[in-house]
Homo-oligomer: A and B are copies of this chain.
Amino acid sequence: MSPRKSAVETAATRTRIIECALTLASAEGLEGVTIGRLATELGMSKAGVIGHFGTKEALQLATLDAAVEKFADRVPARAAGADPGVDRLTRAFDEWIAYMADEGHGGCFLTSVATEFDGRPGPVRDAVLAALSRWSDYAAAELRTAVDAGDLPPDTDVDQLVFELGGVGLAAGQAIQLHRDPAAPERARRAIDRLLGR
């Protein structure tokens, strides 16, 4: 850390690095974010970049953390105003799909990193797993509320439904990122409406 900069400035630089890492990782994957490239892109030295994190793995974890926080601020947060149960979950999935379709995100950061690290044990894989589990738990809780409210049949298999809803999200992500299919969001919404009995 520079003794010439205030703590506020140091934190701002750290944020700049992470924002840049998010952009690079969207295109090249989290492993493809190199310290040298971040330094060039930000007009800093490599030592200046890595000094904020210590190791590349710590930088990866910080980047992932920022992505998870952005997702939480956008998706569940915007659905929080809707009625618990089917309404809120429909709204949350709509937000997820809109988030993936947004330019600049490079689709769903979380699902990309999940694929990238599913065969590489370690802290990054663990963190991805934890973040996805939180999202699954959120969906399962809303589904149970919907069952209790009578908006879904009492014999609903909640875990099965979470699995299938997740599949729709993954299909939407692939259709958007790989096939660049403009119909993808609409297809995803239709699938979700059917799964939630609307």
CB-based nearest B residue for A106: B119
Size of chain A's interface in residues, with CB distance under 8 A? 41
Instruction: Verify if A34 is at the interface (C-beta below 8 Å from B).
Output: no
A130 vs chain B, min Cβ distance (A): 11
A39 to B128 Cα, complex, angstroms:
32
CB atoms of B114 and A118 under 8 A apart: no
Q: In the complex the two chains form, is A118's CB within 8 Å of B107's CB?
A: yes
Q: Name A163's contact: one of B32, B159, B171 (CB within 8 Å).
A: B171
Give the contacting residue for A174; candidates B27, B31, B114, B190; CB below 8 A: B114
Q: Is B166 a contact of A174 with CB atoms below 8 Å?
A: yes
B175 touches A187 (CB 8 A): no
Contacts of A26 in B (CB 8 A): 119
Q: Is the CB of B164 within 8 A of A171?
A: yes
C-alpha gap A28/B164 in the complex (Å): 27
Whether B167 pairs with A120 at a CB distance below 8 angstroms is no
A8 touches B (CB below 8 Å): no
